[in-house]
Amino acid sequence: MSEEKLLDERKKSILKAVVDDYIATAEPVGSKALVSKYHFNVSPATIRNEMAELETLGYLEQPHTSAGRVPSDKGYRAYVDNLIQVEELPDEDADRIRDYLQDSLTELTGLIRKASSVLSDSTGYTSLALSPHMRRSHLQQIKMLMIEPGRALVVVVLSAGVVKDRLVRIPDILDANQLMQIAAAIEEGLSGMTLDDITMVTVASAARNAPLPESLLNQVLYEAYVAIKQADNLELYIDGQHQLLSYPEFHDVGKARCFFNTLARDGIIAGYMNEMKEQEPLQGDPALANNDHNRTAITPFKEQNPSYMIRIGQEIALDGLQDCSFVTTTYKVGDVIAGRIGVIGPRRMAYGKVISNISFVKQTVNEHLKRLARGDEILEERQK
Amino acid sequence: MSEEKLLDERKKSILKAVVDDYIATAEPVGSKALVSKYHFNVSPATIRNEMAELETLGYLEQPHTSAGRVPSDKGYRAYVDNLIQVEELPDEDADRIRDYLQDSLTELTGLIRKASSVLSDSTGYTSLALSPHMRRSHLQQIKMLMIEPGRALVVVVLSAGVVKDRLVRIPDILDANQLMQIAAAIEEGLSGMTLDDITMVTVASAARNAPLPESLLNQVLYEAYVAIKQADNLELYIDGQHQLLSYPEFHDVGKARCFFNTLARDGIIAGYMNEMKEQEPLQGDPALANNDHNRTAITPFKEQNPSYMIRIGQEIALDGLQDCSFVTTTYKVGDVIAGRIGVIGPRRMAYGKVISNISFVKQTVNEHLKRLARGDEILEERQK
DNA sequence: CTTTAGCACTCTTCGTGTTAGAGTGCTAAT
DNA sequence: ATTAGCACTCTAACACGAAGAGTGCTAAAG
């Protein structure tokens, strides 16, 4: 199994060709097809020997004797870590994405949803987008707006210009003015704190001077507290589930059902994506290291782009997605990494295309969110 | 084809038995199975004759000679209009639904989303819920809340206690006070009008006295106008798409893909559901009319429940859903019919179960939304 | 006139066997 | 180290036949 030897250049290019071809055709690829399509200057027999070796090394698999080879998880892993070359996104695609995301400048969730949607459209796979977590954000404002007796809208403004609100019940006898005062007191006491640091206790102490009997006050404070805390709620946007049904790996309805069932539990997926942050990226395969030939060595994708996280097949720790691959990256709100956006599809995924698309979407989203945050800085300066 | 004769009681009960059985098993049902399962006191041969007749009348179909019979669209239609008996929802299911919807009292969209979700869970099909249209609602309040220089939150409060908001860009140099004044002027001028009646012109004239240069004002007014208008945006919530993959009619991936593709175009579906309001319910089949026997005649479901709309197979004017059935009903916000909620699934759908579930969800939603509107009336009285 | 038993007929489904083709691994020659 | 040649293996596709389910028709019975 181990005993890793360096793969020579020819093995690498054969491996790459096999993966490329299998991605394109979904058919096991044989030695003869390889030589003719990829212009190797050797005979099929030579390729066969090499492929046999790649198989014993664990990079390829055979569905059965006398079928072609198919990449294993390890094969895909080597491919994405060291062999892939990612072209830049064609201008027309880039323009389309930019245009589509253009008009949702002001609202964060709208932008994330659209990002998810466009990503699914342009890759042809299923896209996932996790709303940013905000626990490190600072509370900037909290307002309470009387809607009618007994109901109010709590508006929470966070650093980086993120706005969340929530409709709540309040005691019937409170009037708009009292409500505003309470909100002002809370804002006075808490603004600048991170969501993480705000607790029911800090909320209560911020508002201790409010001119209200405690029982009434408590209900309002509780609702304010909940509104603040739910500003950090993770939301998962999934788009383009239907796309996967086009691929032969999902022609078996059992597989498809399994996949859809898993995606339907969006809490689990959201949790999984969220925890990815903390994980070390899986380490690459030393056998693929660039053995310093004078050969034009392409810098491996992995080293250029440490912020991309790719999970292949069994690497995905979610039941029902073991036949899939998962490519994600992070986006920032202001300057901090906040959310995650990505694509899920068959293991035989067009990684290059997916990465260039995600990469561009990520970049565009970051720019938009940076712009939001800039308005934010202006505000902070004025306050000084 | 036509020449409709009245169906005698035996034909009716055979038709009902065929539909019931096919719904339960998804297998074409034969004469022998019918007599043994449903205890007809006649021989299979008699049943065969009757079924042959039902086939020439168009209620049944044969997938091929020497298979059992399967209901046609017309057969299902007769079934749901005249033959079905809808039992009340078992208490445990009712409790589950009630509990699930309990905690989303304050927020309209949250309630609708949950209603959709619970409907899909409890029926085992895909659910659809259309957010209420609000064009007949009256504007009650409009507030503009300064978020930071250049950005504001527009909050629109409609009659029946519905609250919508929208983040907008405004000129950088406006301050919070000016903004409040503009909002107050708009509210003063427009409150009580229906969304339908509000136009850019009425907004502008409501705010004509605001103390601001026109160019600045116009941008704000436009954003206010958009915020008001988008309070009427239709949103469609779809839940439980994965459920349908369990049914044999979707074991053909082509069918499934077609279905999912259509559902992915949610604008089209939303439009279709929205237009259902205006359509006359399809008229029933006179041949099924209750021929006044002294037989214990069940009142046909259709007459008891005119507010349910059932579309079967070809009756659905949406490409890709012709193998499905669609059961929907309306819910009210306050006292006016406002939105539509329903279920889509195979034609061979457990109509009875679906109807009792939808019926209960509708009722629960209506109660919640009535409660919202009641707070509303209180407010109006105080204003007098 | 309605119901029913009997029977021939049809059509699907399922298992089996056969064949063609693709692709391999091995061996021996280059 | 490479390659031509060849035997071998496995799948996919097709045909064939038997089994089974269900029908329609006919003629007899109620």
| Closest-approach nucleotide to residue B27, Cα vs C1' | D21
Residue of A102, A143, A148, A241 best to disrupt the B interface, most CBs of B under 10 A: A148
Q: Read off the pLDDT band of B293 (50, 70, 90).
A: very low
Q: For residue range B51-63, list pLDDT tens digits in order.
A: 999 999 999 999 9
Q: Which two tokens stand for residue B111?
A: 């309630």
Quick one: closest CA in A to B239, which residue?
A264
Q: For residue range B134-186, list pLDDT tens digits in order.
A: 988 999 999 999 998 889 999 999 988 899 999 999 999 999 999 999 999 99
Q: Where are the alpha helices (DSSP H) in chain B?
A: 9-25, 31-38, 44-56, 73-78, 91-102, 108-123, 176-190, 200-206, 214-230, 253-264, 266-276, 301-304, 351-383
Q: Rounded to an integer, what distance in angstroms lies between the CA atom of residue A310 and that of residue A148? A: 50
Partner-chain contact A148 B375, CB within 8 Å = yes
Q: Rounded to an integer, what distance in angstroms lies between the CA atom of residue B349 and that of residue B20? A: 10
Question: CB under 7 Å from any atom of strand D: which residues?
Answer: A 41-43, 45-46, 49, 64-67; B 28-33, 44-45, 48, 51-52, 55, 62, 65-69
Partner-chain contact B250 A251, CB within 8 Å = no
Compute the count of residue pairs across chains A and B with CB atoms less than 8 Å apart. 95
Quick one: closest CA in A to B168, which residue?
A106
Question: Taking chain B, what is the end-to-end CA distance rounded to the nearest angstrom?
Answer: 63
Residues in A touching B268 (Cβ below 8 Å) = none
How far apart are the CA of A311 and the nearest CA of chain B, in angstroms?
24
CB A232 within 8 A of CB A133: yes
Tell me, what's the pLDDT at A381?
Answer: 56
A300: helix, strand or coil? coil
CB B59 within 8 A of CB B75: yes
Nearest-CB residue to A253 (from B150, B151, B251) = B251
Q: Which residue has the higher pLDDT, B86 or A3?
A: B86
Tell me, what's the pLDDT at B80?
Answer: 94
**A63 CA, D4 C1': separation in Å?**
27
Q: Please compute the mean of the pLDDT values over residues B216-231 and round it to a whole number.
A: 93
Question: Taking chain A, what is the end-to-end CA distance rounded to the nearest angstrom?
Answer: 63
Residue of A104, A107, A126, A153 best to disrupt the B interface, most CBs of B under 10 A: A153
Instruction: Give residue ranges of A with CB < 8 Å to any B CB.
Output: 105-107, 141, 143, 145, 147-151, 153, 155, 157, 161, 163, 165-169, 240-242, 245-246, 250-251, 253, 256-257, 260-261, 263-264, 375-376, 378-379, 382
Residues in A touching B375 (Cβ below 8 Å) = 148-151
Q: Please compute the mean of the pLDDT values over residues B255-269 and round it to a whole number.
A: 95
Tell me, what's the pLDDT at A334?
Answer: 81
Residues in A touching B148 (Cβ below 8 Å) = 157, 161, 375-376, 378-379
Quick one: closest CA in A to B148, which residue?
A379
Partner-chain contact A257 B251, CB within 8 Å = no
Partner-chain contact A257 B241, CB within 8 Å = no
Q: Is A108 exposed, middle or buried (0-12, 13-18, 19+ CB in 10 A)?
A: buried
A35 touches strand C (CB under 7 A): no
Q: Is B92 exposed, middle or buried (0-12, 13-18, 19+ CB in 10 A)?
A: exposed
Residues in B touching A118 (Cβ below 8 Å) = none
Q: Which residue has the higher pLDDT, B87 or A303?
A: B87
Tell me, what's the pLDDT at A304?
Answer: 61
Tell me, what's the pLDDT at B380?
Answer: 53
> Looking at A234-238, B199-203, B380-384, which range is the least confident one?
B380-384
Residue B201, pLDDT > 80, answer yes
Nearest-CB residue to A145 (from B155, B242, B251) = B155
Partner-chain contact B245 A251, CB within 8 Å = no
CB atoms within 10 A of CB A68: 20
The list of chain A residues with pLDDT below 70 reads 1-5, 104-105, 278-306, 374-384
CB A16 within 8 A of CB A79: yes
Partner-chain contact A253 B256, CB within 8 Å = yes
Q: Which of B382, B341, B346 is nearest to B101 (CA)?
A: B341
How far apart are the CA of A16 and the nearest CA of chain B, in angstroms?
31
**A66 CA, C20 C1': separation in Å?**
14
Tell me, what's the pLDDT at A58?
Answer: 95
Tell me, what's the pLDDT at B107?
Answer: 85
- Residues near A169 by Cβ (< 8 Å), separated by ≥ 6? A150, A151, A219, A223, B105, B106
Residues in A touching B155 (Cβ below 8 Å) = 145, 153
Quick one: closest CA in A to B252, which residue?
A253
Tell me, what's the pLDDT at A278?
Answer: 62
Q: pTM for this structure?
A: 0.90
